[in-house]
Structure formats: structure tokens, C-alpha cells
Structure 1
Amino acid sequence: MLLDAEGRLLACEGNEHGDDDGGRRMTRTDLATGDVEILADSFDGKRFNAPNDVAARSNGQIFFTDPCYGDRATMELDHDSVYRIDTDGSVTRILTQPEIQRPNGIHLSPDENTLYLVDSCPVIDGNRKIWAFDLSEDGTTSGQRIVYDFAPGRGGDGMAVDSQGNLYIAAGISRSRGPHESGDIPPGIWVITPDGEVKGRIPIVEDVLTNVTFGGDDLKTLYIAAGKTLFTTRVEIPGWVVHRRNGS
């Protein structure tokens, strides 16, 4: 979930499992009225896999990931992709296989000119990469490059960005989960510069970290979702979020 530049709630809804799949769609909720708008629920006439994470630009563009972590045979689409929703409601696929494998977390740089993507494919030799892409004014991507590679450990899931452009990535696990995923990357929030330098790690005792975001009046509180627990911790550098870009 994410608040857009106008303070409306953007949500990735649904999963790949059975009839009770939550709609497999992107929605926008007006928090003042409670009105819910379905922004997108299909591409090329086929239902999405399971929208996972979302980022928004101050110009109204929305970007979201649509991986399949379940049974591909139950999916209508035969690919895992990243999409853009424009202000006119049109939906464009901007990234897909083979340039990426399993798109998960997504975020923008503070100047909104770089799109960051967590590519987490939990199979032997699957991607555990953090990608960066140049993002043009019209929302197209170019200049794909690796920021960091967590392989062979558990890769990233959700992420946040601070006001200086550093990435805060929920990643790692304390034990091996088989030949596809080692315990080499300890669990925590990994703080990584746009150039790929690891500045530090905030250790978390839960193994399955799924997301992280900034909050609080000064945007110096990290909220971390991990397993059955929600953690908070204070940091020195304030976060960057699109709905607070102008300090509101």
C-alpha cells in the first residue's frame, strides 16, 4: 500500500490462491469518503497474477509489480511484469522477462528519475538482485543496471528510500531453506546507496521480512513488517515519500 501525491490510498489487492483471491487488482481509495476505485485488474484481457507492490510519481503515474509466487498453471498471464498506470487510466507493461525474473518491491528515487526494483526469484540460480532504471518523463525505463545482488541468500522484498536516496531493503534469513536459498544474508533492513555500497544493516529477529516504510511527523521512524510482528525503529536520515514531497 502507498499514499499517492494527493493522499489517496493505492493498494495491491489479491493473491494467486483459489476462488478467494482478493480480486488481483490495483485500487485507489479516497480516505475522506471511503470511495474505492478499481484502477486496473487485467492486461490484454487477462487477469493479473497477484499485484505485489506499488510506487507513485507526483505527476500521477503509478507503477506496480505483478509476480507469480504460486502455481503458474492457475494464472491467465504467462509472464511476471511491471506495469505503469497513466493519468488517463491506460495500463502499459514496462518491464518483463527475460530482463527481469520475479518483480517484487518497487520504489522511486527522491527526484523521481530512477525506478528501483527488487527482483526476487526463489529458485536455484534465480535472481536476488536490486535493479535501477532511468525513468523518463513519460514513464518509460532505460539504462538497466544492478545496484546490489543478494545471491545466494534470501533476496529483498519491500523497500523504502530516504531523503538522501539510500535504499532500505527488507532482506535476508537466518537459516538455509534448501539448495535454492542459503542463510548467507542475515535478516534485517539493509541500507544500500544508489551505487551499491552497503552502509549498514538494521538487524531484525524475525526471519521473513516483507516490507518497510518511513513514517512519523519527521519521517525518521521506520516501520518494518516481519512475520507476525510489526517493528519500529528511529533513524537519523528522514525518509522520502511522495505524499510528503512538498512537506505537507
Structure 2
Amino acid sequence: MSFLKAISASIAFSFLIVPIATADNSVFVGQPEMIQSSGAGEGPVWHPQLGLLTSGDGNINRRALDNSSHVFRDGAGSNGLLFDRQGRLVICENVNRRVTRLEADGKLTVLADSYDGMKFNQPNDLTIDSKNRIYFTDPQYGDRSNMQMLDANGKHVEGIYRIDLDGTVTRIITHEVDRPNGLIITPDDKYLYVADNNNGLGGARKLWRFDMRPDGTPDLASQKMLYDWQTTRGPDGMKLDLSGRLYVAAGLNEPRLPEQTATPPTAGIYVFMPDGKQVAFAPILQDETTNCAFGGPDGKTLFVTAGGTLWSIPTAQPGYQIQ
């Protein structure tokens, strides 16, 4: 593609095999395998020509189809990544506190950098509906002294926003979720799943589901908790397969007391039916398990980012890809 400016960056990798703990064999058909030891902190997204892009070490990195690794976009300061239906890369730039889009000619378009005159916190993850409206989460992790986003009563907001095709930005969730992180909307626009990931002492670590209206707003009264990680690390990124099952990165292997426990080790990919029934779990030995994405030639490889490492797990069903 014309905007690709790859900078060679050899990334050492090793292979580590981990047995699947509890798994329906209609979900995972092989073992988790570590395929890259650095450069894959967050935001995995698959492209049929480029391969896998991830956010890591301050850059957007590319693992090409031949498994070579390069810096795709230097100094991006990114987290969540998504290719839209025109093949453009949409980027949550958590460092620059904005959502941008990389056009086919290499130009960077700012889609959203403020709401009601206030800078966003740390745009984290994003999803897109059938009408090409983009939704993104805006939590605040770490230092909170520079937060600008407030509600009408002066309370800090860690919300969820929608970007319409005309560029209008609307806040669709304000305080219904403690600290929204990952999110995904179903292909039929029926449900919005949200990862509530406040890993501070007493914070929520829950998976929520909302019914969505045709206008792109959630029915807040429909909010349903599907799973609660309680005192371990909460849910982060998530993806759907073609059967509608939800694959969620969550958990810890080593405790971070007093805020987060890990007894027993819980880091890995949790798989749920739409009603919240857990049907599988694939453990990842590396903390923290941050996100996942389907890819590969047949769409049946789940790529998992964890503590900068990259893992792969073969799956029975292909993942849902935006088309």
C-alpha cells in the first residue's frame, strides 16, 4: 500500500507451549503459542495484505505475512486499532488524546480530539457498526491530574463516544460503566459489549452488554452484567467469532496486591456465549493479557497480546472481520 513506510526492526521471538485449561473443542483446536517476544503491547488488528498490526513500544508495529517484523508507524502513541470498510486504519492515540485515521495516501485525519471543548482522556479501543459509525472508549489510567473531561456537575467522565459519518461526536455512555476499556458491537448492531476495567482497589472488573437502538445509542436500562472478575485484573480487549461468541482478554498470573489478586492464575482468553455463559478458557502465561484479534489466511488464528509478547491460538471458527 502507498502509505506503508516500513522500517526494518528484527524482533527476536521464542516458542512456548501452554496446555489449554478448560475449553470446548468447538472453540480452540490447538494450544497457545508465543510467537513474538516484544513489540505487541496492544491493539492487534489483521489486514489480508499487511498481516498483523499491533501497538507497542510507542509505535504501530507490523508482523508481515512472512512473519518478519517492522515498525509500521513510528511514534504513533497508539492503543486500539481498526481497519474500516474502506481499508483505512483508525487509531486510538491514547498519548495524543485523540482518534485519527490513516488515509490510503498516508495523510492523517483527526476524527475526534475533544468533546464540548474538553480534551479526551486516553482513547483506548474502538469498534464500528454496520452504518460505519465508530465507537470508542475513553478511560483514564495512571496520573489523573490532567483530566479535562467533566460532566455538567463537574465530575470526571470516563465515557464511551460515537463518531458519526458527518464527524459529529456524541457521548453515549457517561457513568454507567466505571472505567470502559475494550468494546465491540455485534454485526447486526443489536448488542454493544463493554469491558469495565478499573483495576484500582475496589474498582469494577466486569463485562457488560447493552441493547443498541437504531440511532446508535444504547438502551441504558438494558445494561446486563455477563461476568465479574471480582478482585483479579478485569477484562480488556475483545473480539467476536462468526458464531457470535465473545473472546475476552483478562486476568493475572501474578498478584499486584492489594489492588489485584491472582489465585488461582487467571490470565488468558475467556470465551462467552452472548448470554454470558462461559464456554472456554485458554491460559496465557504472560502478564498482562491485553487484547486479541482474529487473522491468518482462513481467519482461524486468534492473535493475543500480553505484556508486549504476541501469542497465537488456532480456533475452530473464523473470527468476524469488518467487510
Residues 63-212 of structure 1: pairs in structure 2 closer than 5 A: 63-77=135-149, 78-97=156-175, 99-142=176-219, 143-184=222-263, 186-212=266-292
Following TM superposition, by how much is the alpha carbon of 1:7 offset from its aligned partner in structure 2, in angstroms? Answer: 1.7
Look up the equivalent residue of 2:123 and give its one-letter code: P
Following TM superposition, by how much is the alpha carbon of 1:14 offset from its aligned partner in structure 2, in angstroms? Answer: 2.5
Following TM superposition, by how much is the alpha carbon of 1:164 offset from its aligned partner in structure 2, in angstroms? Answer: 1.0
Q: Could you report, residue by residue, the CA deviation over 1:168-198 in whole angstroms, capped at 9, with x for unpaired residues?
A: 1111111221122111451111111111111
Q: Could you report, residue by residue, the CA deviation over 1:2-25 in whole angstroms, capped at 9, with x for unpaired residues?
A: 11122211110023xxxxxxx210
Look up the equivalent residue of 2:97 and give its one-letter code: R
Following TM superposition, by how much is the alpha carbon of 1:217 offset from its aligned partner in structure 2, in angstroms? Answer: 2.5
Structure 2 regions of 5+ residues with no counterpart? 1-80, 150-155
Look up the equivalent residue of 1:231 and give its one-letter code: W
Look up the equivalent residue of 1:109 and give its one-letter code: T
- Partners of 1:87 and 1:135 lie apart in 2 by 18
Q: 2:56 matched to which residue of 1?
A: none
Q: 1:233 matched to which residue of 2?
A: 313
Q: 2:41 matched to which residue of 1?
A: none
Look up the equivalent residue of 2:118 and give its one-letter code: K
2:93 to 13, 17, 34: 13
Residue pair 1:4, 1:57 contacting (<8 A) in 2 also:
no
- Partners of 2:216 and 2:255 lie apart in 1 by 38
Look up the equivalent residue of 1:62 and give its one-letter code: I
SS at match of 2:242: coil
- Partners of 2:226 and 2:254 lie apart in 1 by 24
Shifted more, 105-114 versus 140-149: the winner is 105-114
- Partners of 1:105 and 1:235 lie apart in 2 by 21
Following TM superposition, by how much is the alpha carbon of 1:58 offset from its aligned partner in structure 2, in angstroms? Answer: 2.5
- Partners of 1:75 and 1:167 lie apart in 2 by 32
Q: Could you report, residue by residue, the CA deviation over 1:134-182 in whole angstroms, capped at 9, with x for unpaired residues?
A: 1111101011111111112111111111111111111111122112211
Percent of residue pairs identical = 45
Q: CA RMSD in A?
A: 1.2
The reply to whether residue 27 of structure 1 matches residue 81 of structure 2 is no
Following TM superposition, by how much is the alpha carbon of 1:113 offset from its aligned partner in structure 2, in angstroms? Answer: 1.4
Following TM superposition, by how much is the alpha carbon of 1:222 offset from its aligned partner in structure 2, in angstroms? Answer: 0.7
The reply to whether residue 224 of structure 1 matches residue 304 of structure 2 is yes
- Partners of 2:107 and 2:240 lie apart in 1 by 29
Runs of 4+ in 1 over 3 A off after TM superposition: none
- Partners of 2:145 and 2:118 lie apart in 1 by 14
Q: 1:54 matched to which residue of 2?
A: 126
Residue pair 2:253, 2:287 contacting (<8 A) in 1 also:
yes
Residue pair 1:5, 1:57 contacting (<8 A) in 2 also:
no
Residue pair 1:5, 1:56 contacting (<8 A) in 2 also:
no
SS at match of 1:75: coil
SS at match of 2:145: helix
Structure 1 regions of 5+ residues with no counterpart? 16-22, 244-248
Look up the equivalent residue of 1:52 and give its one-letter code: N
- Partners of 2:305 and 2:164 lie apart in 1 by 29
- How many residue pairs get aligned? The number is 234
Residue pair 2:184, 2:192 contacting (<8 A) in 1 also:
yes
Residue pair 1:148, 1:196 contacting (<8 A) in 2 also:
yes
- Partners of 1:180 and 1:227 lie apart in 2 by 18
Residue pair 2:130, 2:187 contacting (<8 A) in 1 also:
no
- Partners of 2:168 and 2:109 lie apart in 1 by 14
Residue pair 1:153, 1:181 contacting (<8 A) in 2 also:
yes
Following TM superposition, by how much is the alpha carbon of 1:117 offset from its aligned partner in structure 2, in angstroms? Answer: 0.4
Q: 2:20 matched to which residue of 1?
A: none
